[in-house]
Amino acid sequence: MRTIIRLSVISMMVMVLFITPAMADTAAQIDKDVNAALQKLYTQTPAAKDLSKVAKGILVFPSIIKGGLIVGGQYGEGALRKGGKTAGYYNTVVASYGLQAGAQKFGYALFFTDDASLKYLDKSDGWELGVGPSIVVVDEGVARSLSTTTAKEGIYAFFFDQKGLMGGLGIQGSKITKITPK
């Protein structure tokens, strides 16, 4: 049993380290996907559109693929927008082990409402979410009471387009790293 687990962990690490860069989108494709994701998010969640007016930057991952059977992982690519223009490209990677089974696809956007949080992203060489600035996950209840005057935290996370079956949805432990797409 331990051998099977070790082989599963090794195969997941190989997948994350070697296969995912081969799936890299071009900068133009990432920008197109980010534009579509933001349009959809703003239509479905007016609080996100309001927050975008005061955000110093918005990091959008339009499509993250997550899967696992005991050993799991997720990967996605996105772009940081400042003033409506792309300021950089990033990927998000997670490898995990534990009680999990299934596959899903989802997207999320991080709204940076202060300069300190945005500077943390810029200066970190791979930012692990959950370490560093605090993040508020915006669900329907929070979205109803969120406004540009009540937004006091540094980063707000909005999830969208969740599809598939997998227990749990979160970004804790995700590592975000700057990339240079083709």
- Could you read off the pLDDT of 155-168 as tens digits, one per residue? 889 999 888 776 55
Work out the pLDDT band at 90, boundaries 50, 70, 90. very high
Q: How far apart are CA 106 and CA 40, in angstroms?
A: 13
- Please give the tally of structural domains in the chain: 1
| Mean pLDDT within 50-75 | 90
Residue 94 belongs to domain spanning: 2-179
Cβ contact 75:65 at 8 Å = yes
- Segment 18-45, tens digit of pLDDT: 444 445 679 999 999 999 999 999 999 9
Written as six digits, the tokens of 12 are 């997941």
Written as six digits, the tokens of 82 are 């400042």
pLDDT of 182 reads 84
Work out the pLDDT band at 7, boundaries 50, 70, 90. very low
Cβ contact 43:69 at 8 Å = no
Q: How far apart are CA 35 and CA 17, in angstroms?
A: 28
**Of 154, 83, 147, residue with least CA distance to 121:** 154
* Mean pLDDT score across all residues of the chain: 79
Asked if residue 147 has pLDDT above 50, the reply is no
DSSP labels, 45-59: -HHHHHHHTT-SEEE
Is the whole-model pTM more than 0.95?
no
